[in-house]
Structure 1
């Protein structure tokens, strides 16, 4: 771009910033000095400087980052009332003087403190020797002072009239500020530490050249649009109109698109329907009977533990469980029924069978289908949302989608199952490497786990499968072989979409959604 075109492209704010250097030559100026010289607000100077830096008319000679300490709204409240650490220490001393026992629960109830505030204050006071936790979990004052509490009060008084740089405080004061500053996960703290960036700016050679040309131009005021007043009064004759660059690219307009995971789920459904499968649907809330009992999972199985299944708080139990399935399943659990099995040999709890839980596995939908006179031969699938208590990480979530399916028929066998699983892994997950490992499930025998290789996470398990045991199929009225599988759709989507963290499947980050490749 030649100098004339460059001058024409400058915004009035850019011109004012460059002109501020006219009396300063090539000497550098700090941002605040430049704002004062140009007569601009902080937001205006920041915007104009960034434009000039992008055009290489200004350069940063030096950049200084200064931490600035100020009070938050919580800190302003602590000026008028005691902070938690002061409050805890005061109450403990009062209790010691009157001979009363003071528990943590009493402290929270009496002073209306948050549990996190109380635990933090007690920890700091205990560390300084100002407080003891004695037998019975009671708090006891030692009579010692608390340097943290005293310093905190002093800091609040110093900052109530305005912010200060962090370096003006002593080393211990800085430690107290850091311990009580707003951070991620700690929002109700009295102090805020912000970085103030100060730049030392100077014109580049191109900037000085532009400044020279600006000084040679007439001083006519630049306007951006023609107004009725300018036309009426003739003022347009003495004005300089801002030029517009029509060659610039228009702002990007991002077209709408479906969420990649939603698109993946629809694709899975389309593929299964095209393969001749019929869709099954079921409720998110199930009884333990359909979620576990009907699947020959004993009521003493570890998966029944409260940490694996979410229980419904209200109502806690269903009014009834469908017969004759309840009676048949009860007989199978206790003595094996007419399946040739000996069962689990325990007394089946009918009340527990009616307890309500969030569906923990899609196989519950298959159990309902088997009890509803399915077609023989028949093929069914369900895309079921399931819930299990789990530690959230890159490959685990507390709620997830499972693609669940069953195939019924006289000629169905284990070889049929392996062929279907291999097909699903390659067609749905678009996996290049697949392997099967032996597994155990209470409701299938034989059982297998499907694993695929993720390009970044390595081998990951997609789910389990097998042939339903007679103890599952017979009580529900089915006498032919049934193969079943429950595969984690979330993990299959990670492989198919090239995603490395399961949490990104549910993101609302538009840039990530737009950049994620779609399904093939």
Structure 2
């Protein structure tokens, strides 16, 4: 492209940047702020013009400097007028030591605005500095020494609150404190933020110099975007510069409306089950321990109960009552088997504990309530239940998840029927290519089985458990026919069906990921 054609392709913003640099001595170098002032452009306008000129090789980056800048977070701004956790712990320790009172870590954690992690970090730091001692009984005492960290944090909060500053402008000791208490990935509750400010300087390339000389010699004609009747009548169009249009550019992508892939998956699962003749069961997110565990013959003392690490409701803590005759029947089944033909668990059933309110930890609680509500025989029921368990979040675990829960009642129902249904779900719903069954133990089913499917990247993955409900479950709830039941992790089934490798992506708000995740069925 010759210089004249190149000039015709330039945007007015690009021309202003070239003129600003070209009107100065050769090899002039200007930083971003100086260049914006010289070209009389807003920062956003200058940024666009620079990127365009760099792409056209009319401008080159002379130097790039990265400067860490310290500022306060919202948390830090609160600490300016209040006190940081380490200051509060330090002050509390000195106060109780001077008065002879006792202070423990749980006492500190109970104070408003102090998280356990904040207390742990503060105590650890102060103990390392020799400011605090942990004495007999787990009590905290002050040694009377000053804390360099506490003093530094108070000074830094005041200084940075006045104006953001370069990290290198602080003394070495203060820099270390800033880095220790700066926001990091996975830890946003810190008072300081360190951001990199990138400063670049630019100069014209040889082609840019030639373009600047051409503009200085020929001048810049006024640019218009439309050819109007007035321009044609008086002939003034001859002295105008018309904006160029590049028809080879790709049109911008239009993001059309679309269901979230996981929402679509859940709707499809429901549609398939309804089309198979299943009726939907519904239940509350908040359940009593009775329906969540006791009605399922899970003993109140047994380690199997620990698998369902539940979240307890803070207020109210207990339900007013449990419906009869189910409470009495289930209590009897636990204690001596009642009329189930079992010997039970042989312990004193705690009816008060059965009223304890929890967040539902398994969809089987919905099945238990359905069995107690005189279901149709034969009958098929399902529920898409959101469940909650205390768990470590990783690629295949979450603290809340969806289960597809189901029961089938009938005189001719058996274990073979169950395996056939599980295999159908794995292949039709999860779109799994490989399925296997392993023996398992659950307090409420016998025999019991676990279903596993192979994920394309994560390998074999457990989807959930199933089995035939024991008589200790069905008879106290008024059901006398065989019942098969299953509870499968819908989140993991969706990972296989949607080709997702991390369970957290099912709940993402990343629009690009939502738009590009392939659909199902």
The TM-score with structure 2 as length reference comes to: 0.85
Structure 1 residues 107 and 44: CA distance shift in structure 2, 3 A: farther
Deviation per CA, 1:137-191: give whole Å up to 9, x if none.
2432444x544455556656766775543334443332133224344525452x4
Displacement of 1:495: 0.6
SS in structure 2 of the partner of residue 317 of structure 1? coil
Q: Pairwise mapping of residues 42-441 of structure 1 onto structure 2 (< 5 A)?
A: 42-70=43-71, 101=101, 103=103, 114=114, 120=121, 122-135=123-136, 137-143=139-145, 145-149=146-150, 162-184=163-185, 185-189=187-191, 191-222=192-223, 240=240, 243-245=243-245, 247=247, 248-302=249-303, 304=305, 308-441=309-442
Answer yes or no: is the 8 Å Cα contact 2:65–2:200 preserved in 1. yes
Pick closer, same or farther for the CA change 1:225–1:369 going to 2, 3 Å.
same
Conserved in 2, the CA contact under 8 Å of 1:101 and 1:138? no
Deviation at 1:214, TM superposition (A): 2.6
Q: Secondary structure at 1:389's aligned position in 2?
A: coil
Given the superposition, is the C-alpha separation of residues 235 and 153 from structure 1 closer, same or farther in structure 2, using an over 3 Å criterion?
Answer: farther
What residue number does 1:37 align with? Answer: 38
Residue 333 of structure 1, CA deviation: 2.1
State the distance in 2 between where 1:445 and 1:361 align: 18
1:513 Cα deviation after fit: 0.8
Q: Give the CA deviation at 1:490.
A: 0.7
Q: CA deviation at 1:493?
A: 0.4
Q: Does 1:495 align with 2:496?
A: yes
Matched-pair contact (CA < 8 Å) for 2:224–2:243: no
Partner of 1:465: 466
Q: What's the CA shift string for 1:207-252, capped at 9, x where partnerless?
A: 334334333433444466899xx99xx9988984551526244432
Give the Cα–Cα distance (whole angstroms) in 1 for the partners of residues 461 and 114 of structure 2. Answer: 42
Aligned-pair Cα RMSD in Å? 3.7
The C-alpha deviation readout for 1:381-428, integer Å capped at 9, x for no partner, is: 221122222222211112211111122223222122112111111111
| C-alpha distance in structure 1 between counterparts of 2:156 and 2:317, whole Å | 53
Other-structure match for 2:7:
7
**Cα distance change on mapping 1:107 and 1:63 into 2, 3 Å:** same
Distance 1:434 1:316 in 2: 42
SS of 1:348's equivalent in the other structure is coil
Q: Which stretch of the first structure deviates more once superposed, 114-123 or 425-434?
A: 114-123
Per-residue CA distance 1:316-351 (angstroms, 9 max, x = gap):
333443333333323322222333222222233333
1:16 aligns with 2:11: no
Q: In the aligned structure 1, how far is the partner of 2:352 from the partner of 2:107?
A: 42
Q: Secondary structure at the match of 1:393?
A: coil
SS in 1 for 2:16: helix
Question: 8 Å contact 2:452–2:462 — kept in the other structure?
Answer: yes
- Secondary structure (helix, strand or coil) at the match of 2:21 reads coil
Is the partner of 2:466 in helix, strand or coil?
Answer: strand
CA distance in 2: counterparts of 1:329 and 1:106, whole angstroms:
38
Give how far 1:34 is off. 2.6
SS in 2 for 1:56: coil
Q: Per the alignment, in what secondary structure is the counterpart of residue 394 of structure 2?
A: coil
